[in-house]
Amino acid sequence: MTATTEAPASREEIVLAARGLAAGYGGGAVVSDIELEVRAGEVVALLGANGAGKTTTLLTLAGELSPTAGHVEVLGDDRNRRLHQRSRAGLGLLTEERCVFMQLTGWQNLKLGRGAPSDALAYFPELEPHLGKQAGLLSGGQQQMLALARVLAAKPQVLLADELSLGLAPLIVQRLLEAVRRAADTGVAVVLVEQHVRQALRVADTVHVMRRGRQVLTAPAAELRDNPEQITDLYVGRGEAA
Ligand SMILES: Nc1ncnc2c1ncn2[C@@H]1O[C@H](COP(=O)(O)OP(=O)(O)OP(=O)(O)O)[C@@H](O)[C@H]1O
């Protein structure tokens, strides 16, 4: 759930940052030395092979996990806040599990959000004819659109999205990522964890590639679009600076 209690951030303002961040499970760090800045209107993609530490990083940015070192700043607040507190301040999170109430209808799902259903439908008008159905009976793509629409309708200042595209057809992935880009173009700061490298490069401004819990490349997406293999090489350690 999200809320918008802060004044909207101006472009170029850093609204989310990780400084020397380390985090993990049960006291041990599985990600370390994470340095990241996200400005209003910017889409930052976290890429990397399975197990590289993308989700762990995202959950720590959200406040689901506490840092074991370093800190996260959200909208100027560098205290170790929990997810519900960051949500109240204007952070929206979509986790890998589809954030949809399967027993409720599409409409009920939208009404449970903090934003207006009409704002949600402005992102995905194709959902409208299906909103009377129980969400559990919608397709995977429709469920994901519903989840993203509900979060975006709440007008978050920061959106963290983990593998929106998991198991979905390329055209749906494109739709979802285009909506994320549109939201960023209205000023939302976005961090996107994505497996589809080419699709991510199309919408991202900045890319961080992770390997074994560390950043191995930070670069403007535009520099990588013609050579996405450079990224997947890094997944397996090829092309990494010695
Ligand atoms: N709940 C957990 N408890 C213990 N270890 C975990 C937990 N979740 C993830 N890990 C471990 O942390 C490391 C990083 O996992 P993480 O999910 O952050 O990677 P990822 O890059 O998001 O991978 P994927 O693309 O497969 O989701 C992995 O070694 C993983 O096994």
Please indicate, yes or no, if residue 55 is contained in any of the structural domains. Answer: yes
Please indicate, yes or no, if residue 2 is contained in any of the structural domains. Answer: no
pLDDT(10) > 70: no
Please indicate, yes or no, if residue 42 is contained in any of the structural domains. Answer: yes
Please indicate, yes or no, if residue 241 is contained in any of the structural domains. Answer: no
Domain CATH code at residue 161: 3.40.50.300
3-state SS, residue 153: helix
Residue whose Cα lies nearest atom 29 of ligand 1: it is 51
Residue whose Cα lies nearest atom 9 of ligand 1: it is 56
pLDDT(62) > 70: yes
Please indicate, yes or no, if residue 3 is contained in any of the structural domains. Answer: no
| Site residues for ligand 1, CB cut-off 6 Å | 25, 30, 48, 50-56
Please indicate, yes or no, if residue 193 is contained in any of the structural domains. Answer: yes
Q: Ligand 1: which of 50, 56, 191 to mutate, judged by most atoms within 8 Å of the beta carbon? A: 56
Whole-number pLDDT of residue 1: 42
Kindly tell me the burial class for residue 227, based on how many C-beta atoms sit within 10 Å of its own C-beta (0-12, 13-18, 19 or more): exposed
Q: Which residues contact 46 (CB under 8 A, 6 or more apart)?
A: 54, 57, 58, 191, 192, 193, 194, 208, 210
Listed residue (67, 91, 95, 114) closest to 15, CA to CA: 91
Structure confidence by residue, pLDDT tens digits, 154-196: 999 999 999 998 889 999 999 999 999 999 999 999 999 998 8
Ligand 1 atom with least separation from CA of 24? 12
Ligand 1 atom with least separation from CA of 193? 22
Domain span at residue 160? 14-235
Structure confidence by residue, pLDDT tens digits, 99-123: 889 999 999 999 988 889 999 999 9
Total domains present in the chain: 1
